[in-house]
A = this chain, B = another copy of it.
Amino acid sequence: MKVTEMLGRLHWRMIAILTAILIAVPGLALASEEGINSADNAFILIASALVMLMIPGLALFYGGMTSRKNVINTIMMCFTCLCMISVTWVLWGYTLAFGTSLGGLLGGLDFIGFRDVGMEPVDNLAHATFASFQMMFAALTIALVAGALVERMRFGAFVIFALIWSTIVYSPLCHWVWGEGGWIGELGALDFAGGTVVHISSGVAALVGCLVLGARTGFGKRPMPPHHLPMVLLGAALLWFGWFGFNAGSALEAGALAASAFMVTQIAAATAAMTWACAEWIRHGKPTLLGAASGCIAGLVTITPAAGFVGPLAAIAMGFGGGLFCFYGVTVLKHRLGYDDSLDVFGIHGIGGTWGALATGIFAVEAIGGTPGLLEGNAAQLGIQAVSVLATYVFVGVMTFIILKAVGAVVPLRAGKNDEDIGLDSALHGENGYSDYIGGGVLTREAHGIPATARTEAAY
């Protein structure tokens, strides 16, 4: 071969390689240089917005279930969680959950004050996307707890409790399960969208909380039915809607896994709603809307840990179990045990979450989420799930108790008897959910000479 030919061939080789590189570059830019996949990013941003909406949804779901005189206080508790935790998440919550792992137990302070959390990619998403998505989870979890405490807890005490709980219970737990190197995750426990992190943890905290607080005045003597059922339904609908973001969004991409998670979410919710309503129909002769709405939430809770691991028929089985067990927990077990979980947070999130976490170990399908469950012969998975559930119960139970006792040592946890009587809306917030005709029923201050600075007993 002649030298010229050699050079000529080299020349061509170079062109071919350059071509290859040039053409590959945009791909590379997408996949590794910049890294953000805009379809996935769009999907998770929308999912984050959906999860945000779950919190006002929860506020209405809970608010409609309380009595008329406590609706504002109930909504305010949820709404405060949304706002307060969003800020603390930026300041320290996120980094404690997702910073570089300190021995699998807690995240380091790398991202304190959202340092370096912005437009740069984390895998396929912008870091801001991931951090915002997780922010909503943190806010939702503590808001869920409120439902067990309403109608008697002092607002100020709840705020302090929520702040501490979110910091020293939620963030660590989140790290254990989802943080890189978190010990529960390392164990191989499956929790797609927060069965342990969100639901068992809030359920257990709720149970401990209502035991520490004690029952509402009059509990057991008179039923305390919801004051506004359409509001409850609206809240449930927003929760269901938002839950698509919660579960499908937890795929952290917009492909087939998200689709599968979406589908089973819908199926489990629907099945559990029907199950609960039918159980009532059989037991009481009438299916109730509150039952159907509670059922769909129970189903959503149940499928949460399993959303990316199971198929449609398993979703029916899980939803059926979720509806039935939660129905039993709320209508029978609670009355037997006699605790006053105002809006049945433990009965739905605790029981549903526990069943869901275990059932994930049963029904997981390797072809979907990469891990086989009991039915595919992997009995060990069920054991791992049980360990993760147990760890969550113990950790959250103990911590919640300690926090409440500590807070209670500084400020009273319960509203005064009189405030409970006239309603926390007026007593703690100076508001009424609904003001009727009668010119607003207003007596001007001057007419009675009450100084503007007068404060009721529980104002702070």
A binding-site residues for B, Cβ under 8 Å: 1, 4-5, 8-9, 11-13, 15-17, 19-20, 22-24, 26-27, 34, 36-43, 45-46, 48-50, 52-53, 56-57, 59-60, 63-64, 67-69, 71-72, 75-76, 79-80, 82-84, 86-87, 90, 113-114, 117-121, 125-129, 131-132, 135, 155, 221-231, 233-234, 236-237, 240-241, 244-245, 248, 253-260, 262-263, 266-267, 269-271, 273-274, 277, 281, 284-290, 292-293, 296, 311-313, 316, 367-368, 428-437, 439-440, 442, 444, 453, 455, 459-460
Contact = CB atoms under 8 A, between A and B. Distances in A.
A228 B435 CA distance: 7
Nearest to A121: B256
- Closest A-B pairs by Cβ, 10 of them: A56-B237, A86-B270, A126-B259, A119-B256, A42-B254, A42-B43, A114-B312, A39-B39, A128-B259, A38-B39
14 contacts: A9-B11, A20-B23, A23-B23, A38-B254, A41-B256, A45-B262, A49-B244, A119-B367, A229-B431, A281-B460, A285-B455, A285-B460, A286-B429, A289-B431
A80 B231 contact: no
Nearest to A91: B316
Nearest to A240: B52
A19 B16 CA distance: 7
Contacts of A45: 43, 244, 248, 254, 258-259, 262
Given A26-B27, A37-B38, A288 B230 contact: no
Given A90-B316, A126-B255, 6 more contacts: A12-B13, A49-B262, A60-B230, A84-B270, A119-B256, A228-B434
Contact of A439 (B42, B49, B222, B258): B222
B285 A48 contact: no
A40 to B, nearest CB: 6
A230 B433 contact: yes
A71 to B, nearest CB: 6
A368 B118 CA distance: 9
Contacts of A59: 233, 237
A119 B257 contact: yes
Given A56-B237, A68-B436, A8 B4 contact: no
A270 B222 contact: no
B87 A132 contact: no
Given A230-B433, A428-B286, A266 B72 contact: no
Contacts of A245: 49
Contact of A222 (B41, B82, B442): B442
Contacts of A267: 86-87, 90
A313 B114 contact: yes
